[in-house]
Structure 1
Amino acid sequence: MPDNFQVEEGAMLYSKSSAYEVQYLLGRGSFGEVAQCRKFATNENVAIKVIRSRHSIEDAKSEEDILKQMKLLNSHFFNIVVWNYSFQYKERYCIEFEKLDINLHEFLQKRSSMSLKLKEIRPIVQQLAIALDFLDVVDIVHGDLKPENIMMVDHVRQPLKVKLIDFGLAVNNSAQHTGETMQTLYYRSPEILLGNEFNGAIDVWSLGCIAAEMFTGNVLFPGSDEYDMKSYKLSDNPKVCDCEHESFFDLLTKMLMVDAADRITPSQILEHALITMSQLSGDSKSCSHVKSCFSQSSDEEEDDDLEVASSSTAIPAGQTESGGLSSDEHTPFAGHTAEKKRKRDGGKTTKKTPLLKRKRDQAKPCSSSAKKRKTVHFNENLEDSVNKLLNKTVEVPSKKRKRADEETCPEERSGCKRRVNFFSP
């Protein structure tokens, strides 16, 4: 392929099964480009990642292996992007995916406050927890969970329906990658910062950071480098006035435990009161905030649409509202409920139950005496852990594994210099 070849509007790519016409670029980086293309064989729009450098091509083939492995296990049922096909075109390596919409970061930028309401955050967190639970079962660590790698399927017709993309840093044997630098800086977990052994808990940490960012409109840990990331400490505990917010902060606390062994697992997130909405039982439905989640107002059409999305997009593909599978579907994960040992479970053997048939915990009902404001003790364990962490002198791991297009500190990103209200430098 000539050196002057450019992936641009009107350019053509060819595989053994189809020709592709580039319609427009979706993104560009040092690895290559991502473009929306028209696939002539099926006359549909797809997304194609076009990799140009030899080093990036090797990484892309590793990503392809993981995508193939997940597809054989029906990953499309669990809010993970659909991989279609890969092919070599001259000196370029091309990976074809289903075409999705905008990413979560772009979605947040469309909001004046760059934040979401809890009734919007809930289905997004639930869908991502389903994706992480699937990865946990098949022993894959995503390693780069961030708003840019969370895609809206169709933010107009399917509001809040999301899928996880970009498995370029994913690993399926994390023990062999100890000491490697993974994760984008803002969402990097303590064990990666310290160069310790890691597992899927690093993705849960990233999800906690993203959940806080969706709620506040600010990056939770806007550090400029690894040492700066260790300098943040908790400030005054936030005050909340209803059970739903209390439940959110409780989940956030559990996702952001510094010790990975104490961090909540994806399956436990799905059973948390915020996700099951068990905290809204009983008299708590008389609260004004809760009423706003159930009522429909003609002068708030946008909120009405989002409420419908909150109830519909929270259900995985093939699953009914009652939590089971539809009559014409079979559990896509049958035969894959193998027992496995996980370090965060203390090395005990735990048996995975089917992802779509888990029994939800019955949380205690929320008291309706919300007139009296309550103070949530936000993550006291996290504060103690952070303080211990700050007292340690730690060398930055010398072994690096990061994307070729990763910036040391994406300072251009909106909100990176602002501090979240419950953290102070």
Structure 2
Amino acid sequence: MTDNFQIEEGAMLYSKSSAYQVQYLLGRGSFGEVAQCRKFATNENVALKVMRSWQCIEDAKSEEDILRQMKLGNCHLFNIVLWNDSFQYKKRYCLEFEKLDISLYEFLRKRRSMSLKLKEIRAIVQQLAIALDFLDVVDIVHCDLKPANIMMVDHVRQPLKIKVIDFGLAVNNSAQHTGETLQTLYYRSPEILLGNEFNGAIDVWSLGCIAAKTLTGNVLFPGSDEYDMKSDKLSDKARVCDGDQESFLDLMTKMLMVDAAQRITPSQILQHPFITMSHLSGDSKSCSLVKSCFGQSSDNKEDDDLEVASSSTAIPARQTENGGLSSDEHPTFAGQTAKKKRKRDGGKTTKKTPLLKRKRDQAKSCSSFGGSSSAKKRKTENLNEDLEDSVNKLLNKTVEVPSKKRKRADEESCPEERSGCKSRKIN
């Protein structure tokens, strides 16, 4: 076998079940390449993630284990990319996925303001909460949620339909990974920054940062303090009605709680008024995508461009008291959730919806601060007050930006965005 095989247009790859012809490159990184290929066995376009180094191949096999576990739970029905197959070819390890469109990061860059309207943000947050709710059920933490890892299914015909990709850093036993540097810098949670124990709450933190970026066009925590800061007016498109603004701010604050034990869970996000729109009763301009997800309908013509997304939103959370995944509707989860629920409840059977909830004792172990409970509470309250002030500035049409000329603080200017093969230990 040769070791100089190149992924380029027209190149052929072969698995035991099919031949693949590279149509064009979708991306390249230190791990290898991602290419759109024609799969001859089914005559369809797929995405191949091709690993080129031995270390990356080992990482790819770990990712495959995660993907296989999620596929057993029908993850593609919960806004997560569908993995089809894996194979090795000429010292390259290939992961085959369904072909999606552009990333949310690219989608935002196509907007003049690099931002979304609040009703569009609602649709994005709702779908991501469904994905994170699913990951909670199967005990997987994504560990790298960011706009570049959120793909539009078809940004023309299904404008706001999204799926989560790239589980290269995902873990299903977070205790074994304490101290590792996970998550892209701008979306990194306090517990990861401090090298503490963590759980799925780190993905909720990332979701909060993503929500802020989609509203303002800027990252919420740019990770730099050497510049003089000044106030800058946001685009008119970021302006929202008072009721929606208050609800969005409340959700943002709960997603960005510094203490992971107090952070809102994905199932609770799905019940939040910003998602259910209970505070907008009678408002005909509410997002029809989210209305459809909760069994409502809209006659507002302004939202017709969102209707196509709602028609293919993958079996969203049922509107129950928990607002989350239902093992009754999805039997795959019944065994897992019931077993975990019995363990949590001391073997007793309850009548509550069998949705895996974040264990309070596990969440408390992920607390970002040590010391006495009263001191910890005061410190957490102070930090969260500062954070709420920061979010308020974003929503009140002012955001702190550097006064010196520099590139917009986004993924391209952040070296952490260029993912390697493996996370590294904090020294």
Which residue in the other structure is 2:315 paired with? 317
Q: Deviations over 1:314-358 (max 9, x none)?
A: x43388899999xxx7555333323548xxx9x9x99883569xx
- Aligned residue for 1:34, secondary structure, equals strand
Q: Does 1:280 align with 2:280?
A: yes
For 2:67, the equivalent position in structure 1 comes to: 67
Rounded to whole Å, the distance in 2 between the matches of 1:56 and 1:291 is 41
TM-score (norm 2): 0.73
Give the structure with the higher percent helix. Answer: 2
User: How far is 1:154 from its partner?
Assistant: 0.7
Residue 118 (structure 1) aligns with: 118
Secondary structure at the residue paired with 1:334?
Answer: helix
* Aligned partner letter, 2:93: Y
How far apart are residue 223 of structure 1 and its match?
Answer: 1.0
Q: Partner of 1:176 in structure 2?
A: 176
Counterpart in 2 of 1:48?
48
Shift of 1:4: 3.2
Aligned counterparts, 1:262-281, within 5 A:
262-281=262-281
Do 2:179 and 2:192's aligned partners in 1 also have CA atoms closer than 8 Å? yes
TM-score under structure 1 length normalisation: 0.73
CA distance 1:215–1:336, shift in 2 (3 Å)? same
Partners of 2:35 and 2:239 lie apart in 1 by 45
- 1:5 is displaced (CA, Å) by 2.0
Asked if structure 2 preserves the Cα contact closer than 8 Å seen for 1:253 and 1:382, the reply is: no
The residue aligned with 2:394 is none
Gap change, CA 1:268 and 1:339, over 3 Å in 2? farther
Q: What residue in structure 2 maps to residue 259 of structure 1?
A: 259
8 Å contact from structure 1 (residues 134, 355) kept in 2: no
Counterpart contact for 2:208–2:252, Cα < 8 Å: yes
The residue type equivalent to 1:63 in the other structure is E
Shift of 1:105: 0.2
8 A Cα contact 2:51 2:93, kept in partner: yes
Shift of 1:123: 1.4
Question: What's the CA shift for 1:158?
Answer: 1.1
* Secondary structure of 1:274 counterpart: helix
Alignment of structure 1 residues 359-398 onto 2, 5 Å: 384-385=382-383
Partner secondary structure for residue 246 of structure 1: helix
Preserved contact between residue 337 and residue 353 of structure 1 (Cα < 8 Å) = no
Q: Distance in 2 between matches of 1:240 and 1:354?
A: 36
User: What is aligned with 1:205?
Assistant: 205
Query: CA contact under 8 A between 1:47 and 1:99: conserved in structure 2?
Result: yes
Q: 1:37 to 1:354 in 2, by over 3 A?
A: farther
> What is the distance in 1 between the residues matched to 2:136 and 2:409?
32
The 3-state SS of whatever aligns with 2:169 is coil
After superposition, where does 1:211-250 map in structure 2 within 5 Å?
211-224=211-224, 241-250=241-250
1:261-320 CA-to-partner distances (Å, cap 9, x unmatched) read 000000000111111111112xx638xx669996645xx6xx5313x256545x433888
State the Cα deviation string for residues 242-269 of structure 1 (Å, max 9, x = none): 2112111110010000000000000000
Which residue number corresponds to residue 335 of structure 2? 335
Shift in CA distance, 381/107, structure 1 to aligned 2, threshold 3 Å: farther
In structure 1, what is the equivalent of residue 88 of structure 2?
88
CA contact (8 A) 2:130 2:324 kept: no
Identity of aligned residues (%): 74
Does the 8 A contact of 2:218 with 2:409 survive in 1? no
State the 1:387 CA deviation: 8.2
RMSD of equivalent CA atoms: 3.9
Aligned residue identity for 2:120: E
Q: Which amino acid aligns with 2:68?
A: K
Number of positions where the alignment pairs a residue of Structure 1 with one of Structure 2: 351
**Matched letter for residue 66 of structure 1:** I
Indicate the SS of the match to 1:66. Answer: helix
Contact 1:217 1:415 in 2 (8 A): no
Separation of aligned partners in 1, 2:269 and 2:197: 23
The alpha carbon displacement at 1:71 in A equals 0.7
